[in-house]
Structure 1
Amino acid sequence: MKSVSTPLSELPHILLYGAVNSGKSTLFNLLVGQEYAVTSPIAGTTTDVLYKRIELPEVGPVVLGDTPGIGDGSPLGEKRMAATRVALRRADLVLVLQSEEELLDPDLPKFYPNATFLPLKLSFEEEGEAVRRRVIALIIQALKERPKHRCESLTGSLAKRGDMVLLVMPQDSAAPKGRLILPQVQMIRELLDKHCMVVAIQPEELQTTFLKLKGLPDLVVTDSSLFQSVETQLPPDVPLTSFSVLMSAYKGDIGRLVEGAKVLSELPPDAHILIAEACSHVPTNEDIGRVKLPKLLRQKLGDKLVISHVNGNDFPTDLSGYQLVIHCGACMMNRNHLLTRQDEAGRQQVPMTNYGIAIAQLLGILDRVVLP
């Protein structure tokens, strides 16, 4: 049986950044150990961000990214720089190839405060293996020195050894046939690692499950779109949360996301809300971001709301036209990507919240929802 690799969103992201022809792609190939990126003396050879999963000693698997060079004067130069800015949003460690003492852009650490910037001065006249060993040693040291600023688990202290955790997992038409979506897979694996007892059901089986269980569950985790239905059937002393809420705490700053949701009670009738989804897929009539959440927003706040959608990497740099951003759980993003989006919204004084947190606030049950 083929083993399943750790999702790329769970791995450290290392990015090569610098001017055109500064040697980024040459270094990328040295670190990868093969001619993976095209190199040439022609400026602008690298036209998009190129990623490769590699293994590093003492660290394990990481994602290495090669970016288009800064200072590309070609007609596509600005589009290539836009792709680099997206890559910087998700970077944990940025290796800056430079010939001067300062970073190419001294403001980079201010705009990407969650990344570590490591200036490099390399001479490719050295033997390639020597350069590779030296850079890998610097990467390992930099990653070891990075502060631990993430939750260590999805459930945190909400689930402990011996607990019974009930997962209410609708399998609608948007779910991949024969497979579970990533948050459900990660949740089940984590709970098994914690030696919890896991009971996974579809929503229509909730009452039957309560009758068959000898006792009440210690925690219930549901899909955010089912908050109201599950909450009304659940005894008030049973902790309730959702996959989206737990994922947002795992990937972002949940304190700021909860604060952002409070704006929902203060929005004007014609407010402009941006709904941002991390992944790209064809919407269905059961889609939470495109269908269920907008419907609930209009039911609670009125039909004059203006709701826009973006997905994947298409997150606007200018958020000034929005009164609120509602983001998905970001299961397909690494932590830095969501944190950077939160920082960008914060700098522009635009509140940001999360699907599950927003739904709970709109339903008036946010105080009922437990947070890790």
Structure 2
Amino acid sequence: MADQRTPISQRLHIAFFGRRNAGKSSLINALSRQAVSLVSDVPGTTTDPVRRPMELHPLGPVVLIDTAGLDDEGELGRLRVARSLEILDQTDLAVLAVPAGEEPGEADERLVQELKRRGTPAVGAVTKADMDPEGAARQAALLSGRFGFPFCACSSEAEAGVAALRQRIVAAAPVDQAEVPLLADLVRPGDLILLVVPIDSGAPRGRLILPQVQAIREVLDAGAIAVTARDSELPGALQALGRRPALVVTDSQVFGPVSRLVPPEVPLTSFSILMARHKGDLAELVRGASAIDSLRPGDRVLIAETCTHHQQKDDIGTVKIPRLLRQRAGGDLDFEWAHGRDMPADLGRYKLIVHCGGCMVNRQLMLSRIRRAQAAGVPIVNYGVCIAYLNGILPRALTPFPELGGTAGRGAP
């Protein structure tokens, strides 16, 4: 099925929030037409976020996220609530479930205030509306005025109510969440785009990594020509092409040698820098690079990766970048690592945050992390920006983006 082939990171993230037993899981099951989430009358049935990829016409591929009750109790309950609220960092659209005949609680009120603070679009559902359809409709109207976003009365048992919620979600969904391309806007029909893809022991057997596949697809969709070569075959590839590439995109790990091989008049960048624009805020990550020169021995540096891949002998996040930063700082640094969707609560402890390209998470999560770093006053860069800066080639790596200080023009045919 097409919806199963779209990566989670490229889907609209729709998260369902509410108190225990508010009917969140039942709504998700009804929307997806599958028993995705465990449903029970026992409060607190959902303990950890549950994700369900699906197609939601006309939005296309989405992921529905079920969360634990916002009013969970006890020490473990508080941890579950914290985990639910962390989902806000990756939420493109929130759905607040309030049971028919019940007043919103303090947890609901706090959630709404946080949604407004973040500017996250939201819709509401008065659940279990089959118990009192007229009363649920009146309640939905009142809550719409109270919270400032639309509520609808619905029951997971009634198709009409589910259809109404689906329409509310479609109408409220942010339309620009996927409009930042990887490189499609940098390519013209007929352009020759050279992609430099190292193959090492950490590469998945028989596959390329997601940014490489995405880049090839966007080049082809633009009516251009994608040529892929390993870094070891780059000299031969450049000689065999017969014409100058309009753009060279390389893996950040071989930025230095590739920049020496590619003629200076040819625009050059990396998959990671393209991902910084596609998933986050490239300008802010470029600004953060200048903090690298202020690092001193003993400074604390956070290296954050959104995937949990098996670390290799010369791993980029645990070996290569720390080695380069130690050399620049002139001594040892205090490195800490964050993996997956977890980030330390207190970012103010760090002198610098170095983030991966974020290919495994959605844009909302990357923007949330950048905003958190800004709020803490901590500079943040990503792998590609960091490596290009340390190699002294960041201006050249920004050549496709002259507004950010790129130094070369566009390659001629």
User: Contact (CA 8 Å) 2:9, 2:360: kept in 1 or not?
Assistant: yes
Q: Quote how far apart the aligned CAs of 1:225 are.
A: 1.1
Q: Distance in 1 between matches of 2:63 and 2:163?
A: 18
**Residue in 2 aligned with 1:312?**
340
User: Contact (CA 8 Å) 1:18, 1:104: kept in 2 or not?
Assistant: no
**Residue in 2 aligned with 1:142?**
172
2:247 to 171, 194, 219: 219
**Residue in 1 aligned with 2:238?**
210
Relative distance call for 1:363 and 1:291 in structure 2 (3 A) is: same
TM, length-normalised to structure 2? 0.85
Q: Distance in 2 between matches of 1:340 and 1:110?
A: 14
SS at match of 2:163: helix
**Residue in 2 aligned with 1:257?**
285
1:350 to 367, 374, 378: 378
Q: Quote how far apart the aligned CAs of 1:31 are.
A: 1.2
Q: Quote how far apart the aligned CAs of 1:4 are.
A: 6.8
Residues 130-279 of structure 1 mapped to structure 2, 5 A cutoff = 130-143=160-173, 146=174, 148=176, 151-279=179-307
SS at match of 1:320: helix
2:316 to 282, 288, 291: 288
Q: Distance in 1 between matches of 2:377 and 2:248?
A: 34
User: Contact (CA 8 Å) 1:360, 1:366: kept in 2 or not?
Assistant: yes
Q: Distance in 2 between matches of 1:6 and 1:262?
A: 36
User: Contact (CA 8 Å) 1:151, 1:249: kept in 2 or not?
Assistant: no
Relative distance call for 1:118 and 1:153 in structure 2 (3 A) is: same
**Residue in 2 aligned with 1:104?**
109
RMSD (Å) for aligned C-alpha atoms: 2.0
Max Rg structure? 2
Q: Does 1:52 align with 2:56?
A: no
Q: Distance in 1 between matches of 2:23 and 2:323?
A: 51
Relative distance call for 1:150 and 1:259 in structure 2 (3 A) is: farther
AA of the residue aligned to 1:280 = T
Q: Quote how far apart the aligned CAs of 1:110 are.
A: 5.5
Q: Does 1:67 align with 2:67?
A: yes
Q: Does 1:87 align with 2:87?
A: yes
Q: Distance in 2 between matches of 1:288 and 1:275?
A: 10
Q: Distance in 1 between matches of 2:313 and 2:15?
A: 38
User: Contact (CA 8 Å) 1:169, 1:222: kept in 2 or not?
Assistant: yes
Q: Quote how far apart the aligned CAs of 1:86 are.
A: 2.9
**Residue in 2 aligned with 1:120?**
125
Q: Quote how far apart the aligned CAs of 1:181 are.
A: 0.9
Q: Distance in 1 between matches of 2:361 and 2:304?
A: 12
Q: Distance in 2 between matches of 1:157 and 1:2?
A: 25
**Residue in 2 aligned with 1:129?**
159
**Residue in 2 aligned with 1:13?**
13
Relative distance call for 1:24 and 1:149 in structure 2 (3 A) is: closer
1:362 to 390, 410, 413: 390
SS at match of 1:121: strand
Q: Distance in 1 between matches of 2:375 and 2:116?
A: 11
**Residue in 2 aligned with 1:25?**
25
Q: Distance in 2 between matches of 1:331 and 1:194?
A: 21
Q: Quote how far apart the aligned CAs of 1:267 are.
A: 2.4
Choose 311-320 or 329-338, whichever is displaced more: 311-320
Q: Distance in 2 between matches of 1:234 and 1:50?
A: 46
SS at match of 1:258: helix
Choose 20-29 or 243-252, whichever is displaced more: 20-29
Q: Distance in 2 between matches of 1:51 and 1:149?
A: 19
User: Which structure has more helix as a fraction of its residues?
Assistant: 2
User: Contact (CA 8 Å) 2:300, 2:351: kept in 1 or not?
Assistant: yes
Percent identical across equivalent pairs?
Answer: 41
Q: Distance in 1 between matches of 2:114 and 2:44?
A: 21
Q: Distance in 2 between matches of 1:363 and 1:111?
A: 39
Relative distance call for 1:10 and 1:3 in structure 2 (3 A) is: closer
User: Contact (CA 8 Å) 2:22, 2:127: kept in 1 or not?
Assistant: no
| CA offset digits 1:276-330 (Å, max 9, x no partner) | 0110012101321111111111122222211111110121121111111111110
AA of the residue aligned to 2:302 = L
AA of the residue aligned to 1:130 = A
SS at match of 1:314: coil
Q: Distance in 2 between matches of 1:194 and 1:13?
A: 27
Q: Distance in 2 between matches of 1:28 and 1:224?
A: 40
Q: Distance in 1 between matches of 2:241 and 2:59?
A: 43
Q: Quote how far apart the aligned CAs of 1:80 are.
A: 1.2
Choose 339-348 or 266-275, whichever is displaced more: 266-275
SS at match of 1:107: helix
AA of the residue aligned to 2:115 = P
Q: Distance in 2 between matches of 1:235 and 1:249?
A: 24
Relative distance call for 1:170 and 1:154 in structure 2 (3 A) is: same
Structure 1 spans left out of the alignment, 5+ residues: none
User: Contact (CA 8 Å) 2:184, 2:219: kept in 1 or not?
Assistant: no
AA of the residue aligned to 1:24 = K
Q: Distance in 2 between matches of 1:33 and 1:124?
A: 19
AA of the residue aligned to 1:122 = T
Structure 2 spans left out of the alignment, 5+ residues: 134-156, 402-413
1:337 to 356, 365, 370: 365
Q: When the two structures are aligned, how many residues end up with a matched partner?
A: 369
Q: Distance in 2 between matches of 1:151 and 1:331?
A: 16
Q: Quote how far apart the aligned CAs of 1:5 are.
A: 0.8
